[in-house]
């Protein structure tokens, strides 16, 4: 183990190794932070989508992209009745409510959508709510009335009658300056949606949340299900590192032990191992994984097990065998046999440690190989359907034609993280190869 420790101390002499190590440590730190702040169960619940993301816009680009471009596109504005000055006028058997939802809008573009979420605590008789839209220049538009259920979503953007009256989609027409000539322009100022409600029960309560959806959101943007892509990008780090590390450890350790056992015992044991290796080498891994994902399960743990099983009798056995054959004939192995060391002790204590320094660079560069394999399976639609991973994000982007519609962030973000992961391990692995392989130091 002394050559191994001495080699690790020499890492500081190689800037590429330090850069690669810094990238890996950053990824590991981010993975730990993600697992602590967004527990596994919560991450799965968030990634399922649904009502959890109802306050988020659809296909919104990252906010920092808009900052760089200098477009001042709108961000999502949420106005709640909890913060509004509500006036009440009781009468026998009920009351009248006036709920003004006010907000300032001073962006360089129109919102992407406009929704109103109503809640009512009535017991039997539904209340009646009339909506009035007031613009900064004093205009008032009647948005109609309705009898909301206990929870109801009013999609103002999809009100076809309102669209016919405005002459354009409501989330544009309600924010456009007066005038029919040329393209519509945003009218900056304070807007107000007034809810005039009548309840027919004295204890009934009405709540409202007005959501003016923006066109930019957060650091990573959103997808077609309103999900914040930052959840998948962050959770993709521990999933990718765990998959790559477990697969690399599982295949490398088992392959090394089997190769050492074949070299030590020789005879029919070595022959069987070599024949199994030769058969396994010609088996295509990716088509087998596709077949398993199509016919059995796309669970990431099932895929990981298949990857390890196919990687045990890989071509590495022959390389390890060639390295271990001279070691078997070494004098210290004969000395170990003379003082009565058992077969397991000789294999695990005297043979395998001698080649570990040479195998460490190969092990490090093997991790991103399995990371890319998992992402490739997910991109092909064979990823775990419940886990937020980088490959799943790119698969969703491909399914929704993200590049065609100009949602470049949807593809570039996970692709950049994949390349960064590969770069970090590659830089460290190549530097370790130069450290532990003296023949490469002068090249």
Domain boundaries, the chain: 2-47+227-442, 63-213
Q: How far is residue 28 from each of residues 25, 238, 287, 378, measured CA to CA in Å?
A: 5, 8, 31, 22
CA dist., res. 95 & res. 332, Å (int): 96
397-408 per-position pLDDT tens digit: 999 999 999 999
What does the pLDDT read at residue 443? 46
Enclosing H/E stretch for 2: helix 2-9
Q: Is 73 left (phi over 0), alpha (psi -120 to 50) or beta?
A: beta
Pairing of strands 128-134, 140-146: antiparallel
For tokens 């590049």, what's the residue?
A: 403
Spelled out in words, what is the top-level CATH class assigned to the domain 63-213? Answer: mainly beta
What are the residue ranges of helices labelled H in 313-386? Answer: 316-328, 331-338, 343-345, 352-379
CA dist., res. 58 & res. 78, Å (int): 15
What does the pLDDT read at residue 413? 94
* Three-state secondary structure call for residue 126: coil
CATH superfamily, domain at 2-47+227-442: MetI-like (1.10.3720.10)
What does the pLDDT read at residue 170? 92
Weakly modelled stretches of the chain, pLDDT under 50: 440-443
């Amino acid at each position: 183990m002394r050559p191994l420790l001495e080699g690790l101390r020499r890492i500081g002499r190689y800037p590429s190794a330090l850069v690669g190590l810094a990238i890996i440590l950053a990824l590991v730190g981010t993975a730990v932070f993600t697992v602590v702040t967004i527990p596994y169960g919560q991450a799965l619940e968030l990634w399922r989508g649904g009502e959890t993301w109802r306050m988020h816009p659809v296909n919104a680009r990252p906010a920092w992209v808009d900052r760089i471009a200098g477009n001042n596109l709108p961000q999502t504005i949420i106005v709640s009745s909890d913060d509004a000055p509500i006036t009440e006028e009781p009468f026998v058997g009920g009351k009248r409510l006036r709920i003004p939802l006010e907000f300032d809008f001073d962006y360089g573009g129109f919102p992407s959508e406009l929704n109103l979420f109503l809640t009512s605590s009535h017991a039997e008789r539904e209340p009646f709510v009339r909506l009035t839209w007031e613009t900064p220049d004093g205009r008032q538009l009647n948005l109609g009335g309705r009898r909301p259920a206990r929870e109801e979503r009013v999609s103002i953007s999809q009100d076809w009658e309102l669209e016919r009256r405005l002459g354009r989609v409501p989330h544009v027409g309600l924010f456009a300056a007066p005038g029919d000539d040329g393209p519509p322009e945003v009218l900056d100022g304070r807007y107000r949606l007034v809810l005039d409600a009548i309840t027919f029960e004295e204890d009934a309560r009405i709540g409202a949340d007005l959501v003016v959806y923006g066109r930019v959101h957060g650091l990573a943007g959103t997808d077609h299900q309103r999900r914040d892509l930052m959840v998948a990008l962050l959770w993709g780090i521990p999933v990718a590192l765990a998959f790559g590390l477990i697969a690399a450890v599982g295949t490398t350790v088992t392959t090394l032990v089997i190769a050492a056992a074949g070299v030590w015992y020789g005879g029919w044991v070595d022959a069987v191992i070599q024949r199994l290796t030769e058969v396994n080498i010609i088996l295509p891994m990716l088509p087998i994984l596709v077949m398993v994902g199509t016919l059995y399960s796309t669970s990431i743990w099932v895929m990981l097990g298949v990857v390890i099983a196919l990687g045990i009798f890989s071509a590495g056995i022959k390389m390890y065998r060639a390295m271990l054959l001279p070691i078997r004939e070494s004098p210290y192995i004969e000395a170990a046999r003379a003082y009565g060391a058992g077969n397991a002790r000789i294999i695990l204590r005297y043979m395998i440690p001698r080649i570990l320094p040479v195998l460490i660079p190969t092990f490090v560069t093997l991790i991103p190989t399995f990371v890319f394999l998992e992402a490739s399976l997910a991109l092909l639609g064979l990823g775990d359907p419940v886990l937020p991973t980088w490959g799943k994000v790119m698969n969703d982007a491909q399914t929704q034609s993200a590049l065609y519609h100009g949602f470049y962030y949807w593809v570039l973000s996970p692709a950049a993280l994949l390349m960064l992961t590969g770069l970090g391990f590659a830089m460290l692995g190549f530097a370790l190869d130069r450290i532990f392989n003296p023949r490469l130091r002068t090249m």
